[in-house]
Amino acid sequence: MWRMCYDEYSYGNKNPQAVKELLREPRRHGGGRRRFLVLMGDASVDPRNYLGLDVVDYLPTKMWPRPIWQAPSDDWFADRDNDGIPELGVGRLPVRSAAEAASLVAKLAGYRKQPREADWRKRVLLVADENDTSDFEKASETVKKDLGRSGRSIRCTGDVWGRARRAGRCWPVSTAARIW
* Most confident range, picked from 11-25, 91-105, 131-145, 150-164: 91-105
Distance CA 5, CA 84 (A): 24
Q: pLDDT tens for residues 96-137?
A: 999 999 999 999 999 888 888 888 777 777 777 777 777 877
More confident residue, 23 or 151: 23
For Cα atoms 70, 72, 78, give the angle at the middle one, nearest 5 degrees.
Answer: 135
Q: pLDDT tens for residues 49-99?
A: 888 888 888 889 998 877 777 788 899 999 988 888 898 899 999 999 999
Q: Helix, strand, coil proportions of the chain in percent (round to 5)? A: 40, 15, 40
- CB-based contacts of 140, cutoff 8 Å, min separation 6: 126, 127, 128, 155, 157
According to the model, what pLDDT value does residue 109 have?
Answer: 92
Q: What is the pTM of this model?
A: 0.67
Is the pLDDT confidence value at 46 over 90?
A: no
* Domain extent listing, the chain: 2-112, 119-179
According to the model, what pLDDT value does residue 177 have?
Answer: 42
pLDDT band of 176, cuts 50, 70, 90: very low
| Residue 9 DSSP class | H
